[in-house]
Structure 1
Amino acid sequence: MRATKAVVGAAVAAFASTVEAAVASTCVGNNDVCFQWGAPDTTISSGSGNVYFQLRAPTTYSWFALGSGSQMRGASIFVVYNNGANNVTLSTRSGQGNFMPAFTARTDVELLEGSGIVDGNMVANVRCNGCSDIDISSSSNWIAAWKAGPSLDSPSPSTDITVHDAHSQFAVNLQQATITSDSNPFVSTPNSANPPPAPVGGGNPTTGTSGVVVQQGASQGQILQNAHGIVMAVVFIAGYPLGSSLMPLLGKWVLHASWQLLAFLGMWAGFGIGYTVATNNGV
């Protein structure tokens, strides 16, 4: 245990040396889709201004994305994929709800130095110049999604993408993700491409510097998705079969009809939950 803590501590220290100050970071999925954030003092104090963030994932992913907001509908989404020329494409998109995110050209978003294919990872260092759609608070909501598969190899920001394999939702304390100057914090040293340390102990991910905490938990969408699965499983595995056996076993048609009616209503409740999940995820 002490040896493990020593290794983790060394990784945290190494990561801290690659950035200017307290950059918030987290990894999702299999701990290989990673993000970092940093904001200058002036942005933190005024509540608006430049925000810097990094997106990183292995080239085994077809695409991956980070979005500002608590759900896909209405979110400002930043999609990254291989451009086919040893670099990455950053595609700014808008969450559409029932449809895949649509490309939306933005003049306030820049792809910065240090971006590209680095050590088998797609890396995008991004500056959002005074983006009003980013919440500069101690509980800034973000979403992420990713899709494993063949490289898109496209320089076009409007390239079609397929439905994600999985997604996540988390809150970032941007009030503490302070950097000392209004410049790219991810190229401070030649080793700045190193990923943030993975969460320790299977709990909520934390950053490696200055105690900046990224809170991560089950999103409302995930809760609804689980509820849909449970309700439909109960209805079709237990509800309908048990109801159909009541008539031959007990000969009580009223009990049989009442039970089947409850199962029928449960089925439609499960369908409604599933429809809500599909709508929120743009399926």
Structure 2
Amino acid sequence: MGGWADVPGQPKYQRIAEQLRRQIDDGALPPGAKLPTEDELQAAYGVSRPTVRDATDVLQAAGLVERRPGRGGGVFVRERVTIDAYAWRDDQPMSTTSEADLFFRTVREQGYEPSQQFSTRVEPMPADYATLLHVQPGSTAAVRRCLRFVDGVPHSIQDSWYPQWLCEKIPELFSPHNIAQGTTRLLAERGYHQVAALTTTGARMPTPIEAALLQIPVAAGTPVLHNVLTGYTADGPLRISTATFAADKVRLVSAHGDIDTITRHRR
């Protein structure tokens, strides 16, 4: 493991953390691997136990490792699956493919197995969403949620918000069951054709509920990407769909120009 070249002003624990991070990134410490013990790291780098602990704390805060207690415990490299999400394909407002089918196809194309859990609840419309949908804040909304998994590990939280006036016209939106053809197609069948979508994406720390659902360790310090899509008919805004991802589980892929050319040549 050896020492390192001195960098003026950089604490020793940060240099140790950087060397361990590189070993994780290049596969020398693969997912599931156990890091050297604190005693081994002390001997390898000639530092104190608190310095070693500070170094592994940095990796834990970055979501790269996790601590396991008990016999056989220690610090282990976290298992992580990162899925590419293709915005130019999956967020098309007039797609005839259901949202669930798009998710399943995207995940399977990358060699993993998708699954999801579905639920519906009724909640007051948040003020920012109400502004986007031109309805009164606090008015009733149906929230249709898909908690999605990749190889059995929570991947994203997908919430779709439908204002009360729309639910009164299409009561299936209140249904506790998944809509087989997808809500976009159901809305189109009832005369609400979505012709445009506006998407914004930001990063923030997860709420306690999001951290629990996505199994983000409390000490990890992993942010989430929060994607808000507003769907429009020709007459105005119709619905909001949000997607919340642990930032280390997704890459948002965008493309411009002749998409067919990219598809033909992309490996």
Answer yes or no: same fold by TM over 0.5.
Answer: no
The structure, 1 or 2, with the larger RCO (C-alpha pairs under 8 Å, 6+ apart) is 1
- Normalised TM-score (structure 1): 0.24
- Normalised TM-score (structure 2): 0.25
